[in-house]
Structure 1
Amino acid sequence: MPRMIVRQSRAPPPDPHRILSAGIFDVDGVLLASPHERAWREALTGFADPARFTTAIYQSQVAGKPRFSGALAALQALGVPNAAQRAEAYAESKQRRLEALIGAGAVSAFADALRFVNAVRTLGFPIAVASSSKNANDMIRRIPLDDHHSLFDVFGANVCGRDLPAGKPDPAIFLLAAAELPAVPEHCFVVEDAPAGIEAARAAGMAALGVARLHDATSLQAAGADLVVTSLDEVDLDQLSRGRLCRRIHEKS
């Protein structure tokens, strides 16, 4: 009889008594509707049928990972022969396509994300932005907040596109963001839309707020999110001001 292997998370269980006082934001899928997924799909021509690259594959295999790791994972998920040898070329093709799409203006901000960022700042929380994408800063600079400032300007720490020993689900990028704020990791919450990012936040000892914009709440919950919402407007700001991550309760009229 085959032996059953049970995977156990290395992350500690969430502490219901911790007080949150700082926020860390991912970019793609959290702050911005970016063309990353589209670029990965369109760059597949010559490697595999682009139509096979679904949103589910993007979210589970690619989102949140460094470029080469995402390319390799995508090719392997699609069963492409010699995936390890072809991943670098696929990653480069994706980067060229992404740069073209960004240049064409295919980037926009989620309105709920901008409201939430401003609300968290109003609470006095220091905030950081942390994405493995080396294009993240170029994209957030393109989002104006007023006549003199862009979304890029509001973060107290920015670790986007840094060269780190490992990408998500390794916690290095979030631990670096906390160190540069500075903030104690246990007092930080991370806003993520990908399972790998949720796992990285939990491994860092941080609270994980999942944003299920793609009807993928189940995968974010399975990754260990403390709270999953479909819009950041659902977060209870009054409770957050007290250091707790909760869903806003709608009062009946």
Structure 2
Amino acid sequence: MLTDCDLVIFDCDGVLVDTEPITTRLVAECVTEMGWPIDQAYAAEHFKGRPLGELCERVGERIGRPCPELAEIFRERMYAEMESTRIGTIKGAVELLDALGALPSPPRVCVASNGPRRKMAISLSSAGLLGRFGGMDSPVIFSAYDIERWKPDPGLFLHAAASMGAEPSRCVVIEDSTSGIEAAASASMRVIGLANLTPASALRERGADLVVGCLTELLPMLRR
């Protein structure tokens, strides 16, 4: 799959950088303070990879009042913690990027995330990956906030493919959330699911063509 494509689109959180433990914990804390007690496991299952606006709507429905302040509270805490924490890479991410680049005819690579650019800049920089994509001003980093269309809407992936000059059928997406899998499938792109916090069965149900438990499992197919 990865040797027969023109563009590999990486999700950011949970695929390249190990930020999901931070964000799901903070979601659980903030939502609980709003009046809906949830734990980190619930936050990961129901809100990982979903737009922040959707989170506010869901919480508002549950507690019986609008809570637009939730978004700002969450962002402030997230940025404060991420800026003071050394963020690691997802196991196998660096090796996979290296292996893709070493192919005789390497595909282009880009990042497409539901997260805002500031979050991507902090996490990719802390993990030492920002330079691999040319910095935040690079034309290969895409945020849903740029076009105001969030996964599971396929718009972000289609925008990335068009910007990179690739046909959707020639793209492979690597995602770890059900919303990302849905978006890629709806965009008629091949999609690899990374089952770290999300069960493999859920990724398959949403349309993943291949599911792996670790990115290192993809390396052998690049060495054939």
By the TM > 0.5 criterion, same fold? Answer: yes
Alignment check: 8 A CA contact 1:140 1:151 kept? no
Secondary structure of the corresponding residue to residue 147 of structure 2 = coil
Alignment check: 8 A CA contact 2:91 2:215 kept? no
Instruction: Name the CA shift for 1:151/1:48 in 2 (closer, same or farther; >3 Å).
Output: farther
Alignment check: 8 A CA contact 2:176 2:198 kept? no
Match of residue 112 from structure 1: 92
Report the aligned-residue RMSD: 2.5
Please say which structure displays the higher CA radius of gyration.
1
Tell me how far 1:63 sits from its aligned partner: 2.2
| Structure 2 gap ranges (5+) | none
Match of residue 64 from structure 1: 49
Q: 1:170 aligns with which of 142, 150, 153?
A: 153
Tell me how far 1:49 sits from its aligned partner: 4.9
Alignment check: 8 A CA contact 2:133 2:140 kept? no
Alignment check: 8 A CA contact 2:152 2:183 kept? yes
What per-residue deviation string (whole Å, max 9, x for no partner) do you get for residues 133-167 of structure 1? 0111221122226xxx7344387611125333431
Secondary structure of the corresponding residue to residue 133 of structure 1 = coil
Match of residue 134 from structure 2: 153
Match of residue 107 from structure 2: 125
> Are 1:44 and 2:24 matched, yes or no?
no
Deviates more, 1:160-169 or 1:121-130: 160-169
Match of residue 25 from structure 1: 10
Instruction: Tell me the number of residue pairs that the alignment of Structure 1 and Structure 2 aligns.
Output: 215
Q: 2:127 aligns with which of 133, 138, 143?
A: 143
What per-residue deviation string (whole Å, max 9, x for no partner) do you get for residues 39-66 of structure 1? 212222431355x23424433x322232
Which amino acid in structure 1 is aligned with residue 170 of structure 2? Answer: H
Counterpart-to-counterpart distance in 2, 1:138 and 1:178: 24
Deviates more, 1:40-49 or 1:222-231: 40-49
Which amino acid in structure 1 is aligned with residue 30 of structure 2? Answer: A
Which amino acid in structure 2 is aligned with residue 103 of structure 1? Answer: E
Tell me how far 1:103 sits from its aligned partner: 1.4
Match of residue 10 from structure 1: none
Tell me how far 1:75 sits from its aligned partner: 5.3
Instruction: Name the CA shift for 1:156/1:113 in 2 (closer, same or farther; >3 Å).
Output: farther
Secondary structure of the corresponding residue to residue 209 of structure 1 = strand
Tell me how far 1:216 sits from its aligned partner: 0.8
Match of residue 188 from structure 1: 171
Match of residue 190 from structure 2: 207
Alignment check: 8 A CA contact 1:141 1:151 kept? no
Counterpart-to-counterpart distance in 2, 1:180 and 1:213: 29
Counterpart-to-counterpart distance in 1, 2:169 and 2:223: 16
Alignment check: 8 A CA contact 2:17 2:87 kept? yes
Alignment check: 8 A CA contact 2:25 2:40 kept? no
Tell me how far 1:74 sits from its aligned partner: 5.1
Which amino acid in structure 1 is aligned with residue 100 of structure 2? Answer: V
Tell me how far 1:29 sits from its aligned partner: 1.0
Where do 4+ consecutive residues of structure 1 move more than 6 Å? none
Alignment check: 8 A CA contact 1:63 1:70 kept? no
Tell me how far 1:70 sits from its aligned partner: 3.0
Match of residue 227 from structure 1: 210
Secondary structure of the corresponding residue to residue 127 of structure 1 = strand
Tell me how far 1:212 sits from its aligned partner: 0.3
| Structure 1 gap ranges (5+) | 1-15, 243-253
Secondary structure of the corresponding residue to residue 111 of structure 1 = coil
